[in-house]
Amino acid sequence: MEFKSLKEQYIEIFTNRLSISKDDLTDVENDIINIGYELMLEKLEDLKIVNDENRRISIELANLRSYIDDRGYCDESENDDDC
Residue 55, domain member (yes or no): yes
Domain tally for the chain? 1
Angstrom CA distances, 79 to 69, 72, 75, stand at 21, 13, 9
Per-residue model confidence as pLDDT tens digits over 46-64 = 999 999 999 999 999 999 9
The domain of 37 spans 6-67
- The pTM for the full model equals 0.63
Residue 73, domain member (yes or no): no
Residue 36, domain member (yes or no): yes
3 band by pLDDT with thresholds 50, 70 and 90: confident
Residue 72, domain member (yes or no): no
Residue 37, domain member (yes or no): yes
Residue 78, domain member (yes or no): no
Residue 40, domain member (yes or no): yes
Residue 77, domain member (yes or no): no
Q: Is residue 61 a contact partner of residue 67, using CB atoms and an 8 Å limit? A: no
